[in-house]
Structure 1
């Protein structure tokens, strides 16, 4: 396995974990990423392999079959998967968001029903918040859940749902008598239909879908937490994990760009010397390596603060996601620039990395939303 550049920010133990996760990625994911991107889908076998390695149960307690990773270890896993394929990492993100929500807010019966299946990979979860007219402004959600005896009747549409084409269980948010609530909806529930959203610009293999709920009857026991608990508590905490996962995944994507650029620049010769010998190329690679290391440090800080339960972890996660995602896009753009026409051709990975990097600036809080939020989270000067 090629040595990993820019890991001076990790302890020996953390670097060992990252190497372990990278070995899995380089065997089971990276060689197939371009193929999956062109096909626009992931084989279920890759998720089965991740489950067997304990990677789908990272945020699930051991008593429910999970791996109970530390948050830093979970972050390093997202980095490693992000090096290989952002589509796979995106599925890991939303699956982990569902696992985290059920672990934190679910009743004992709900945990017993769903967590072992999610940890073991029998089921994969998807996060269903966004709608055709409600993205960043989640308060505008139009889906409704109407009480009816021992059930809720769910109506509405969810859009841009990562892995919606194949997920087995969905964490769905809907208005419940004027209060937003969260519900766990299993795929085979009558009234739920799934419409694939193909040919996306980036993370093409993440299998996005639009979900339609038409008088979809779900048991009252499917509600997660209390009525009105959906947006601030359930969605808020899940989205925090999602931002954290995407931040680390962006580090991995940028790391992949750095390694690709180094390989190409050392092998490609122009004007009688390797491209790497040209100072302007060295400048680009220097900026890449610095961005990767700085983003990783911000992610480590966020993970350590989250582990400690520190209030500052909220701002730290926002900052990590903001810096890592915007940095990854610039690094990916420079990777294509270094590789020229080769970087634009689908036979290589550079163009896929650039497309995926743009998605990182949009999901789990767009760059502009992050800029507004971070400014508000900065402590006032004395």
Structure 2
């Protein structure tokens, strides 16, 4: 692809992955130093604008790079999809200060996950039961999320829940008090992608952790965030087909 700013990075990624993907799959873990190095180069969420420390890649070039990663290692591509979804959600719903703070972290080596699915809310995300309750200058988050890609590696988890009867996304540090992350044992595919159950028990955060202050229609919030993820997964599948 001519004039593609990610071609050199793709060649470097090929060399970095080499023949190690099968071993990562058996072990069920990606090298965290590799993930953080890719993140620090902006490659896990390549569409983040340069003003926030990203590469400012087009959707086409980012998709091409995602397909390349998918051809090398589906677990790595899954983490890339997760990071991209988190960045996309922050870009679309965060205010200026939140975009500067969080996107800067995601292009500097921090890793992120997005938590939608729950035990009773898989494809029907209108049934989300996670609550984000205002308490003075803070919010308190309670809920359980399942099959959360990359949560085992994440520094930040964008949690979708309900605040005052409307949808909201809140950025939760994975080491916050009340957060428990438990890896899914022996998943049948993408075994190194860090799929985990995330439990949130009275997790207290500053109100500034709520993207845009909350109050978003849940269906719009979910559709906007998932749109990026579905396109990214499709690009990854293109890569798998090319590698077959």
Give the drift of 1:203. Answer: 0.2
> Scaled by the length of structure 2, what TM-score is found?
0.94
Alignment counterpart, residue 2 of structure 2, candidates 8, 13, 29: 13
- Distance verdict in 2 for CA 1:138–1:256, change over 3 Å: same
For 1:232-247, list aligned pairs within 5 A.
232-247=219-234
Q: In the alignment, which residue of structure 2 is the partner of 1:178?
A: 165
Cα separation, 1, equivalents of 2:2 and 2:132: 47
Alignment counterpart, residue 31 of structure 2, candidates 39, 43, 47: 43
8 Å contact from structure 2 (residues 167, 221) kept in 1: no
Q: For structure 2, which runs of at least 5 residues remain unmatched after alignment? A: none
8 Å contact from structure 1 (residues 94, 162) kept in 2: yes
**Greater RCO, CA 8 A, separation 6+:** 2
The answer to whether 1:151 aligns with 2:138 is yes
8 Å contact from structure 2 (residues 5, 57) kept in 1: no
The answer to whether 1:93 aligns with 2:81 is yes
Cα separation, 2, equivalents of 1:22 and 1:109: 32
Q: In the alignment, which residue of structure 2 is the partner of 1:113?
A: 101
Q: Give the RMSD, CA atoms, in angstroms.
A: 1.7
> Scaled by the length of structure 1, what TM-score is found?
0.61
For 1:26-41, list aligned pairs within 5 A.
26-41=14-29
Aligned residues: 244
Give the drift of 1:145. Answer: 1.2
User: Which has the greater radius of gyration?
Assistant: 1
Give the drift of 1:132. Answer: 1.2
Cα separation, 1, equivalents of 2:80 and 2:196: 16
Cα separation, 2, equivalents of 1:223 and 1:85: 33
Cα separation, 2, equivalents of 1:146 and 1:49: 36
Q: Deviations over 1:225-261 (max 9, x none)?
A: 353316233322121111111111000011111xxxx
8 Å contact from structure 1 (residues 17, 76) kept in 2: no
Cα separation, 2, equivalents of 1:94 and 1:162: 6
Q: For structure 1, which runs of at least 5 residues remain unmatched after alignment? A: 1-11, 258-382
Alignment counterpart, residue 72 of structure 1, candidates 60, 74, 77: 60
Structure 1 stretches of 4+ with a deviation exceeding 6 A read none
8 Å contact from structure 2 (residues 41, 107) kept in 1: no
The answer to whether 1:212 aligns with 2:199 is yes
Q: Deviations over 1:246-279 (max 9, x none)?
A: 111000011111xxxxxxxxxxxxxxxxxxxxxx
Q: Deviations over 1:57-113 (max 9, x none)?
A: 412111111101000000001010000000000000010011111122211221222
Q: Secondary structure at the match of 1:207?
A: coil
